Amino acid sequence: MFKDNRYIDYNAAGFRKDLIAGITVGIVAIPLGMAFAIASGVKPEYGLYTTIIAGLLVALFGGSRFQIAGPTGAFIPILLAIVLQYGYEDLLIAGFLAGIFLLIMGFLGVSNLIHFVPRSVTIGFTSGIAIIIFTGQLGNFFGLTGLEKKEFFHENMIDLVRQLHTVNFYSVAIALIGLAIIFFLPRIAPRVPLLLVALLIPTLVSFFLFPGKVETIGTAFGGIPNSIPSFHFPQITLSKIVSLWQPALIIAALGAIESLLSAVVADGMAGGQKHHSKRELFGQGIANIVSPLFGGIPATGAIARTATNIRSGAVSPISGVVQSLFVLAFLLLFAPYASHIPLAAMAPILMFVAWNMSARHAFVHILSVRSSDSIVLLTTFLLTIFINLTVAVQVGILLAALSFLRKMSGKLSMKEGKLSEVEVVKFGDSDRSSLIKYIVEGPLFFGTAKVFEDQYPKLLATKAKKIILDLEHLSVVDATGEAGFFALLDDAEKAGKQIIVKRLPKEKLLLFKKSGLYDKIGEENFFM
């Protein structure tokens, strides 16, 4: 179906590079997979299942040489909301439906439409997600007890404040050690796998110095089984499709945006090697259909892991395959030891991820401009935090569209033009006063039709019996614009005026013929 040119001139040297890169990314992916799963309200092993299965399938069927797929921070708020409202089983259904939506997007070429999502919207919800992730880890950072994850941000914050008296100073110590490692290690040893060390050292400190003093994966979730779950097809019913299609569509849209953005970043880092966007969405769709069948949560292309893959020397998708196999080996051999990982050790890792994804510089810049984009940004940001991502994206895009229409409404102009001698001779009947010309410039569509209609009285109030409309610079005409022309012709006929169309672009002429405007105006009244 898709021609795969990602393995051109592949050799043993390339495999060695992919092997090293795959292991390096796998080391990064293990703590992130578990952390993202916990933050999404599910067991840590589900994040590892997703890393293994989705990572493998996107490497095999995706459209980028270097894409690394798995659970990501962007999904956390919407996945957590689904788990809290519907439960884990329905999360699998939502992920499965999202995979189908991604396949449809790929076949329909929707990848090109992703670029029309305004930057103010993407920065708004990305920053909102970062706030949710960061604040969501405060409970683990301080070792608070008695917290219950709730659907809304303000409810979680109120609960957090109420439980501050349960702070565990052992957890704070563990979290501070992890935070210090994340802050200082890159300055001392930049090549050391940062997140793994930030997870391993606090775990060892907790195990040997504070045994039984902090909550761990084992005490919170019962440990991690060292096996892949068996195939299980979720019970999909019509009622569940009706209730889950909207969050599933948001998962698919968000997954498409993040995976294509990651692929574009990879293209730039790898010297301009272009990805295949349709194939990339196809691979993401397959991954999200299969992953839930084995207990995995929704996945997408991960920008940080993909960048690590490239920086580690990857040359083909084989590095993604190696990454999946490495995480699988960890799951089968060392999963029981992961039960000793303190939740307080994972908190700084997720806070670090949130800080990196916050897009704070772009956020401040857009906000400082104080334009309609600032309103869209702030609205999307606040709705993401206080309501949910689904509402935020819908309202943000709607506001951006309304802002665009408002801007475009001023792009249509009608102004009186100077008559040429040719026009006077051809249409003026030797009487220049019987003729007037108006030049129409810009788009004539539903957003500017009112501007066009407002010109009718002025147009028809002239003493001239013949009105030339110069349409050379008419850029767009839609159905509403066509209706406006029909209304003008009717009003002109009642007023005893003749409409003459001059220099109509060829593609617009075809549109006029299809709509009936050409016949209504009359062939003799077109001056090309």
Q: How do residues 312-362 score in pLDDT, each as one tens digit?
A: 888 899 999 999 999 999 999 988 888 899 999 999 998 998 898 888 898
Place of tokens 């077109």: 526
Contact 391, 112 (CB under 8 A): no
Q: Which residues pair with 294 in a beta bridge?
A: none
Contact predicate 527/501, CB 8 Å: yes
Q: How far is CA 53 from CA 7, 275, 286, 401, in A?
A: 21, 21, 10, 38
Distances (CA, A) of 448 to 137, 155, 414, 453, 470: 48, 44, 12, 9, 18
Distances from the Cα of 428 to the Cα of 431, 464, 466, angstroms: 5, 10, 8
DSSP assignment of 437-458 equals EEEEEEEESTTTHHHHHTTHHH
Percent above pLDDT 90 for the chain: 39
**Positions of the chain with pLDDT lower than 70, given as ranges:** 1-8, 114-115, 272, 409-410, 428-431
**Tokens in use for 175?**
């979290």
Amino acid at 342: P
Q: Which class would CATH give 413-527?
A: alpha beta
DSSP code at position 342: B
Buried b (16+ CB within 10 A) or exposed e, 148-158: eeeeebeebee
**pLDDT reported for residue 474:** 86
Ranges of CATH 3.30.750.24 domains, the chain: 413-527
pLDDT digits (tens, 9 = 90+) for 421-454: 877 777 766 667 788 888 888 888 887 888 888 8
Token pair, residue 219, equals 């005490």
Q: C-alpha angle 191/195/200, rounded to 5°?
A: 105
Q: What is the pLDDT of residue 104?
A: 93
CA 374/CA 368 separation, integer angstroms: 8
Q: How far is CA 41 from CA 88, 130, 158, 251, 323, in A?
A: 8, 16, 19, 16, 25
Rounded to whole angstroms, the Cα distance separating 176 from 466 reads: 82
Name the phi and psi angles at 88, rounded to 5.
-65, -40
Residues 127, 134 contacting (CB under 8 angstroms): no
**DSSP reduced 3-state for 325:** helix
The per-residue pLDDT for 176 is 96
pLDDT for 172-222, tens place per residue?
Answer: 999 999 999 999 999 998 888 888 899 999 999 999 998 889 999 988 888
- Count the neighbouring beta carbons within 10 Å of the beta carbon of residue 359: 19
